Amino acid sequence: MKNLKKGYGGSFSYFELGRPIELEEILTGKHFPSYKELARYIFFTATGEEFNEKNFDENKNFIGESKDYLVLR
């Protein structure tokens, strides 16, 4: 126990991820993600922010907004 070092005060998060979204599988028709899964991927890729499902409205083709962007389908 003497060799243990004091940490930096950070935290650790564990996430269970779903199936990866692979462009090749989409283009070949092997696997299409759900609309919400694709929206989540596009939103994060475009903004770098966490996807908020409360803002998601599939009927209006609205996947969310950020402080810098309005992201539509």
Position 53 scores a pLDDT of 92
20 lies in a domain? no
12 lies in a domain? no
On the CB side of 73, CA atoms within 13 Å amount to 14
47 lies in a domain? yes
Domain range enclosing 45: 25-72
Of the two residues 69 and 14, the one the predictor is more confident about is: 14
- Please count the structural domains in the chain: 1
Could you read off the pLDDT of 7-56 as tens digits, one per residue?
677 777 767 777 788 888 888 888 888 899 889 988 988 888 889 999 99
Position 5 scores a pLDDT of 65
Question: How far is residue 25's CA from residue 33's CA, in Å, rounded to a whole number?
Answer: 10
39 lies in a domain? yes
53 lies in a domain? yes
11 lies in a domain? no
State the virtual CA torsion across 10, 12, 18, 22 in degrees, nearest 10: 50
55 lies in a domain? yes
7 lies in a domain? no
